[in-house]
């Protein structure tokens, strides 16, 4: 149980860290990284919750995998927007 | 259920087909949008005659299954989505100023409609997360269509939307960890008002409030909605923000423990009043026309949030009907207002409110559409907005301890009147009208007028509509 608790707390800590970064930072790339850290935090909480019983809960794992797919595609899109947006700003200057 | 599934699959396959064939054909989308509308109407008829239905995808048993649920309100929302999508598609194909012809608008708007329909039909917490993400990604891509100057607001919208989803997801994880179910009907039988449930529900609520741009988490909305192409702004304001609101309503009215709902209700209602006042104030002050319309969305969502909060606090099912009337009336009026505003500013060649001087003379139809839609937002009788407001006020007027809420609503109405008349008064200043840069596009102006007329037409069918809505919401 203590191991599960450790990962739960770690997950929540990562989530809070990411949220803080998303709110406080201004550079697009840093904010994208913050969102990813937040995501990792949630996924860690979910995996830790799945490990509470002897045989891990497969539903939670399926959810995490779906979440990862969403996170990857969203990150790719965000990076594209950030990079092109930055370039057009440089062009203007 | 087949009809409802068709309403979900037609836009999805249209979008995929357009992408595969590298086609950006507007007329094709209008045709499939008509088919979707027919399917949605059929679903509405089906659900009214034979009651709610549900479908387990892939025939899996209960806890593993992804369940689609067709309720009367879901069917109504399917029809509403299809109507707005069709109208905006016709506008996007026909308007000279829209700049969406032959762009990615067509597949993206179909994806948007598909994910929204999936959201209405879903009834489990994780499926909602997935549909919210789909909706958010499609919406951001649509905002980015207006070119590089919109990339900043689009990126900000995307990041906040992703962050909001993760706040919601943490809540979902806690709920699953506590109860071991995700389906909302199963959850409803199990929830207890303990500490972890409270934290989970608050996290989900915060995430959804940020997604729906409910005060105080609305700051991303005006920029994103104002910088999008006109057709997209109309879709975003009329439809997209209603998705998270729907989930919020289902969560609190079905799944949440009653004590928790009673405790949280006033907080949401206060946020609603604040949205009404502060959103309205910003709409009064902004120099830009589209920002004015976008801030009015923030303000008008305040009514819906207030209806939800009071509904939770007093456990009054009568307010369900008020909430959904608001959603319908606001969606129609806002579609009309954004189309009119987009046409006005494109024809005048200026984004400022002050450029509207004398537009009643130069572009009477578009300005009239704006004013008529504004009338419904203010809640002038006999519009749909008036009906909704009346439904909201009715249970409060009888008891004097509820009068502070009434005062809030009336003050909000005054401010709405302020920002609508700010535009209308300027438009009647005919002494020195601003000359338009282009010849006005009559057809587009009448198209903008259409939903505004429908929203006033709601008053003609008010009695059966209210009776139906009261029966339709569980």
Q: Tell me, yes or no, whether B324 lies in a domain.
A: yes
B383 contacts: CB under 8 Å, gap ≥ 6: B329, B333, B375, B376, B455, B456, B458, B459
> Hey, are the CB atoms on A81 and B137 less than 8 Å from each other?
no
- Identify whether the C-beta of residue B215 lies closer than 8 Å to the C-beta of residue B279: yes
pLDDT at A87: 76
Evaluate the CA torsion angle B91, B339, B76, B168 in order and state its sign.
positive
Query: For residue range B379-414, what is the model confidence (pLDDT) as tens digits?
Result: 888 888 888 888 888 888 888 888 888 898 899 999
Q: Nearest 5°: CA angle at B343, between B441 and B345?
A: 130
Nearest-by-CA chain B residue for A78:
B155
State pLDDT tens for residues B172-203: 999 998 888 888 888 888 888 888 899 999 99
Q: How far apart are CA B296 and CA B330, in angstroms?
A: 10
Q: Do A22 and B160 touch (CB under 8 A)?
A: yes
In a domain, residue B159? The reply is no
Rg (CA), chain B: 21
d(CA A90, CA B371): 42
Contacts of B63 in chain A (CB under 8 A): 59
B64 interaction partners in chain A (CB closer than 8 Å): 59
Tell me which residue has tokens 């009367």.
Answer: B72
Q: Is residue B222 part of a domain?
A: no
B345: pLDDT strictly greater than 60: yes
Residues in chain B: 474
- Give the minimum alpha-carbon distance from B203 to chain A in angstroms, rounded to a whole number: 12
* A47 touches B: beta carbon within 8 Å: no
Q: Where is average pLDDT lowest: B163-172, B222-231, B292-301?
A: B222-231
Q: How far is A36 from chain B (nearest CA, A)?
A: 9
- Chain B positions in Cβ-Cβ contact with residue A71 (cut-off 8 Å): 162
Q: At what angle do helices B318-348 and B384-397 cross, to 10 degrees?
A: 140
pTM value? 0.93
Partner residue facing B155 (CB), from A28, A49, A71:
A28
Q: Residue B114 has what pLDDT?
A: 94
Chain centroid, CA B206 distance in Å? 18
A79 touches chain B (CB under 8 A): no
Residue B441 covered by a domain: yes
Q: Which helix (H) or strand (E) holds B65?
A: none
Helix (H, G, I), strand (E, B) or coil at B122: strand
Which tokens sit at B227?
Answer: 């910088």
**Residue of chain A whose Cα is closest to the Cα of B64:** A59
Instruction: Output the average pLDDT for chain B.
Output: 89
Specify the number of domains making up chain B. 1
Euclidean distance between CA atoms A73 and A56, whole angstroms: 27
What is the tens place of the pLDDT at every residue in B110-153? 999 999 999 999 988 999 999 999 999 999 999 998 888 888 88
Which domains are delineated in chain A? 2-92 (1.10.287.3510)
Phi and psi, residue B470, nearest 5°: -65, -35
**Dist CA A58 CA B17 (whole Å):** 34
Q: Which long-range contacts (CB under 8 A, 24 or more apart) does A63-72 make?
A: A63/B126, A63/B173, A63/B176, A66/B126, A66/B130, A67/A39, A67/A42, A67/A43, A67/B129, A67/B169, A68/A43, A70/B130, A70/B133, A70/B165, A71/A36, A71/A39, A71/B162
CA distance linking residue B341 with residue B445, whole number of Å: 10
Residue B264 lies inside a defined structural domain of this protein? yes
User: Looking at the domain assignment, is residue B6 inside a domain?
Assistant: no
Which candidate from B144, B158, B173 shows the least CB-CB separation from A45? Answer: B173
Instruction: Judge whether B285 lies within some domain.
Output: yes
* Res B66: pLDDT: 81
> B455 and B373 in contact (C-beta within 8 Å)?
yes
User: Per-residue confidence at B63, pLDDT binned at 50, 70, 90?
Assistant: low
pLDDT in tens, B72-125: 899 999 999 999 999 999 998 888 777 777 788 899 999 999 999 999 999 889
Q: Is residue B49 part of a domain?
A: no
Helix, strand and coil content of chain A, in percent to the nearest 5, comes to: 85, 0, 15
**Is A59 within 8 Å of B176 when comparing Cβ atoms?**
yes
Residue B459 lies in domain: 257-474
């Amino acid at each position: 149980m203590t191991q599960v608790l450790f990962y739960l707390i770690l997950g929540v800590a990562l989530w809070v860290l990411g949220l803080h970064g998303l709110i406080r930072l201004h550079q697009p790339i840093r904010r994208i990284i913050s969102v990813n850290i937040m995501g990792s935090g949630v996924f860690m909480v979910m995996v830790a919750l799945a490990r509470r019983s002897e045989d891990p809960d497969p539903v939670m794992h399926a959810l995490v995998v779906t979440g990862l797919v969403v996170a990857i595609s969203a990150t790719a899109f965000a990076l594209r927007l950030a990079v092109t947006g930055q370039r057009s700003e440089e062009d203007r200057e | 259920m087949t009809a409802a599934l068709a309403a979900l699959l037609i836009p999805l396959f249209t979008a995929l087909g357009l992408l595969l064939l590298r086609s950006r054909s507007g007329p094709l989308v209008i045709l499939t949008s008509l088919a979707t509308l027919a399917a949605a109407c059929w679903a509405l008829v089906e659900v009214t005659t034979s009651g709610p239905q549900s479908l387990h995808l892939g025939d899996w048993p209960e806890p593993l299954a992804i369940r689609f649920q067709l309720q009367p309100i879901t069917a109504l929302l399917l029809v509403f989505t299809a109507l707005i999508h069709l109208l905006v598609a016709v506008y996007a194909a026909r308007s000279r100023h829209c700049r969406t012809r032959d762009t990615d608008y067509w597949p993206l708007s179909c994806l948007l409609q598909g994910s929204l329909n999936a959201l209405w039909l879903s009834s489990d917490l994780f499926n909602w997360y997935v549909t919210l993400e789909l909706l958010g990604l499609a919406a951001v891509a649509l905002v980015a269509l207006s070119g590089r100057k919109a990339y900043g607001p689009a990126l900000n919208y995307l990041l906040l939307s992703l962050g909001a989803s993760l706040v919601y997801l943490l809540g979902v994880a806690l709920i699953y960890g506590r109860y071991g179910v995700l389906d909302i009907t199963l959850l409803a039988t199990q929830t207890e008002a303990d500490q972890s449930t409270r934290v989970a529900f608050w996290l989900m609520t915060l995430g959804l409030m940020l997604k729906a741009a409910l005060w105080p988490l609305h700051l991303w909305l005006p920029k994103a909605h104002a910088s999008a192409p006109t057709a997209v702004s109309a879709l975003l304001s009329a439809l997209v923000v209603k998705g998270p609101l729907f989930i919020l309503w289902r969560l609190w009215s079905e799944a949440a423990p009653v004590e928790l709902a009673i405790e949280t209700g006033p907080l949401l209602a206060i946020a609603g009043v604040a949205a009404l006042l502060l959103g309205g104030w910003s709409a009064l002050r902004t120099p830009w026309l589209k920002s004015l319309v976008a801030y009015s969305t923030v303000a008008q969502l305040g009514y819906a949030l207030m209806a939800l909060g009071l509904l939770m606090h007093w456990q009054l099912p009568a307010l369900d009907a008020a909430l959904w009337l608001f959603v319908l009336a606001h969606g129609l009026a806002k579609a009309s207002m954004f189309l009119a505003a987009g046409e006005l500013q494109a024809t005048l060649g200026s984004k400022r409110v002050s450029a509207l001087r004398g537009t009643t003379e130069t572009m009477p139809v578009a300005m009239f559409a704006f004013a008529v839609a504004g009338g419904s937002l203010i809640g002038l009788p006999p519009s749909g907005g008036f009906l909704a407001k009346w439904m909201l006020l009715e249970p409060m007027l009888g008891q004097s301890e509820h009068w502070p809420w009434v005062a809030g609503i009336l003050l909000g109405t005054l401010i709405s009147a302020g920002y609508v008349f700010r535009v209308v008064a300027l438009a009647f200043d005919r002494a020195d009208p601003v000359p338009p840069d282009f010849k006005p596009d009559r057809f587009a102006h009448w198209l903008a007028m259409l939903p505004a007329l429908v929203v006033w037409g709601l008053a003609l069918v008010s009695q059966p509509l209210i009776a139906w809505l009261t029966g339709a919401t569980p």
